[in-house]
Structure 1
Amino acid sequence: MDGRRPTSSPGQLAGRLGEDLADAHLRRLGWQVVQRNWRCPSGEIDIIAREPLGGGRQALVFVEVKYRSGTGYGDPLEAITRAKVTKLVDLAHLWIRENRAGGGLPGMHGIRIDAVGVLRQPDGSHRISHVRGITR
């Protein structure tokens, strides 16, 4: 062993896998992923995407992704607490403020926060659960 620390922990690798699978799920729905892993001093947003609404309209969607390799700690979506949702709302406002100044929000006709849970199944496949509008 050479004493160097690994660049990614197993948890980080699992989280990245979950985000990759959530990203692919959103793209299959026809969404455009605008940004991943946006960070600021207050926290991080996993995925920011545009959902086509028809008629040239789009919704801006902030997506929290939770990955679990099993149900020992419950369903992935159970990990999204009310406090986490409040934090996501605050982070979304920060992102909008930052990007509105640069003109990065044309054509937006709605803003929403969604959650995507990714659960590894015993056979190695993954089940994706997508809940829209978790702030309601």
Structure 2
Amino acid sequence: MTARQPLRGKKNATGQRGEEIAASRLASAGYAILNRNWRCRSGELDLVAEHRGVIVFVEVRTRTSGGRFGTAAESVDYRKQLRVRSVAEVYLHRYGYAGVPVRFDVAAITLDRNTSEALEYRHIESAF
């Protein structure tokens, strides 16, 4: 067992908690969640939703309070955007969504380090 395993488990739990919060908030706002953690060889899509006839790919970024690595929204860099777009193309092709309007959003969540409750939730539409 390496020293990194407990950290990896906490990181995964933080990410999963953020995805749960984002999916719940999006559903409350009228989004139909089509897929969570959809995977293919190219990568993974956190959330795929449909809202008013638009397929919405939502990149969920979660941080805990007091973190040292910037905000959740800041962590969606250009390289990550390219990866999400590439995986989204595979998704659209696989499910026959040719010609359907699409959008790329970011759900940025800050959790309380001790309670894992959402301190901040930002849904950035058309983030990239």
TM range (shorter): 0.7 to 0.9
Superposition TM-score, scaled by structure 2 size = 0.85
Number of the residue aligned with 2:121:
128
Q: What amino acid maps onto 2:80 in structure 1?
A: K
Q: How does 1:91-130 map to 2 (within 5 A)?
A: 91-100=87-96, 105=97, 109-121=100-112, 124=115, 125-126=117-118, 127-130=120-123
How far apart in 2 are the matches of 1:19 and 1:92?
A: 18
**Alignment root-mean-square deviation, CA:** 2.2
Work out the number of aligned pairs and report it.
120
Number of the residue aligned with 2:24:
24
Shift of 1:79: 0.5
How far apart in 2 are the matches of 1:17 and 1:122?
A: 12
Shift of 1:73: 1.4
Structure 1 stretches lacking a partner, 5+ long: 53-57
Helix, strand or coil: the match of 1:67? strand
- Greater Rg by CA: 1
Distance 1:40 1:122, change over 3 A: closer
Runs of 4+ in 1 over 3 A off after TM superposition: 121-125
Helix, strand or coil: the match of 2:34? strand
Deviations 1:47-90 (A, max 9, x none): 000012xxxxx110000000001242111011000111111111
Q: What amino acid maps onto 1:111 in structure 2?
A: V
Q: Is the 8 A contact 1:114 1:131 kept in 2?
A: yes
Q: What amino acid maps onto 1:98 in structure 2?
A: R
Helix, strand or coil: the match of 1:65? strand
